[in-house]
Amino acid sequence: MKKILITGGAGFIGSHVVRLFVNKYTDYHIFNLDVLTYAGNLENIKDIEKKPNYTFLKADINNANEIDTLFDTHQFDDVIHLAAESHVDRSITDPLAFIQTNVLGTVNLLNSAKRIWKNNLSSHLFYHVSTDEVYGSLHDGGYFLETTPYDPQSPYSASKAASDHFVRAYYNTYKIPVVVSNCSNNYGQNQFPEKLIPLFINNILNKKPLPVYGKGENVRDWLYVVDHARAIDVVFHKGKVGETYNIGGFNEWKNLDLIKVLCKVMDQKLNRTQGESEKLITYVTDRAGHDLRYAIDANKIMKELGWEPSLQFEEGLNITVDWYLNNKNWLENVTSGAYLKYYDEQYSVN
Ligand code: NAD
Ligand code: TYD
């Protein structure tokens, strides 16, 4: 039985990847390693926690000894690495936490894998899940290709870029089989309500202001989280060792346009007068160093590995809004305590 270590599986994207792998590959044993930060929540994967091919390991990738011991005990065959600090705004207030988890934590995993796999490297794979933000900000049109030079602009993207470089350096230097994918902005169920879409759903629900950074003109390329999980499955099984695959939905939205669509959908679903939620839009001080536009060219994964997104954005947004409205308990649980403190600090300065 193949033993696969998935890190960050209690978080947003990781929980969808864990679910997909546990349900689809009953001949694999999936180990979900997560330290359960504010962003990790075992509720996200409650439906699969009793499956015989699933084990949860509460551990911190920053603790090299702990990670080494787990590799010794379980002899993982492959790694799919998603654990990270993932929110740009938090990286602006606390960059060191991002360097620790995203850079040092990744190197700890690489070191353990290198040690355990040294006698038969070629039968293993270290899959590093990364972001399109490593490519920087597009100002004059065009798309991010796998060959686009790295140009990270935020502490978050700099930490992810550094981790990508270490993964490739371990491939080049120690011949650890690796694959990297860089994906655009994800949305969907179980996303922590600090990111744009779930934050605004929660605020509309509670009739709180919708804090739009700057003029709302920044552009992001949005992909439904389950489509990202499907892409990770495809890259893990069919990707070529040493290669990079960009993942995206060819689905660019200016923030303000997206927010207006979201307001409309929410008004409909909450039986509010059309236009009511839009009135909550509040322009606040722009994010420091705010990247203007991200846009992924996903042709390589589509042509070489046969992956494509399954959902149109409107459909995905509908499913997402329905999920949040049907899971108000989840929202209430994650938006108490530490979240409220974060929210006050983040938005009171504006
Ligand atoms: P998330 O913040 O929702 O989840 C991160 C998970 O990692 C949490 O469960 C957290 O508890 C865990 N974690 C954090 N620090 C840890 C540590 N030291 N040890 C063990 N576990 C730890 O993040 P996400 O949005 O699901 O992103 C997952 C991965 O995908 C990240 O690597 C991120 O860079 C990448 N990514 C995210 C997006 C996006 O739009 N969210 C897009 C492209 C790539
Ligand atoms: P976010 O979800 O934080 O993702 P990322 O910064 O990784 O792209 O933000 C998406 C866009 O929405 C980004 O341009 C910043 C903007 N934004 C706001 O305007 N207001 C907010 O409160 C947040 C969280 C984001």
Note the pTM of the prediction, 2 decimals: 0.98
Catalytic status, residue 132: yes
Which residue stretches of the chain have pLDDT < 70?
349-350
Q: Are residues 178 and 260 in the same domain?
A: no
Whether residue 35 is found in the same domain as residue 178? yes
Q: Could you give the C-alpha distances from 268 to 51, 219, 265, 277, 281, in angstroms and in order?
A: 38, 25, 5, 10, 17
On whether both 183 and 265 belong to a single domain, the answer is no
Q: Provide the percentage of residues in the chain whose pLDDT is more than 90.
A: 95
The span from the CA of 185 to the CA of 252, in Å, is 10
3-state secondary structure of 284: strand
State how many domains the chain has.
2
Do 140 and 202 fall into the same domain? no
Q: Which of these, 294, 291, 301, 295, lies nearest to 247 by C-alpha position?
A: 301
Question: Are 88 and 141 in the same domain?
Answer: yes
Q: What is the pLDDT of residue 349?
A: 55
Task: Provide the 3-class DSSP secondary structure of residue 13.
Answer: helix
Residue 43 falls inside a structural domain: yes
Q: Is 314 a catalytic residue?
A: no
Indicate if 201 and 96 belong to the same structural domain: no
Whether 264 and 168 share a structural domain:
no
pLDDT at 339: 81
Tell me the one-letter amino acid at 63: N
| Domain containing residue 325 | 196-219+252-289+312-343
Assign 250 to helix, strand or coil. Answer: coil
137 in any annotated domain = yes
103 and 24 together in one domain? yes
On whether both 78 and 206 belong to a single domain, the answer is: no
Whole-number Å distance, alpha carbon 203 to ligand 1 midpoint, is 23
Residue 153 lies in a domain: yes
Q: What pLDDT score was predicted for residue 179?
A: 99
Ligand having the closest approach to the CA of 80: 1
**Given this model, what pLDDT does residue 140 score?**
82
Q: Any catalytic annotation for residue 156? A: yes
Instruction: Indicate if ligand 1 lies below 6 Å from the C-beta of 35.
Output: yes
- From ligand 1's centre to the CA of 325, what distance in Å? 24
For residue 304, tell me if it sits in a domain: no
Structure tokens at 292: 């203007």
Alpha-carbon span 21 to 15, nearest angstrom:
10
Flag whether 296 is in a domain. no
- Domain holding 263: CATH number? 3.90.25.10
pLDDT of residue 340: 84
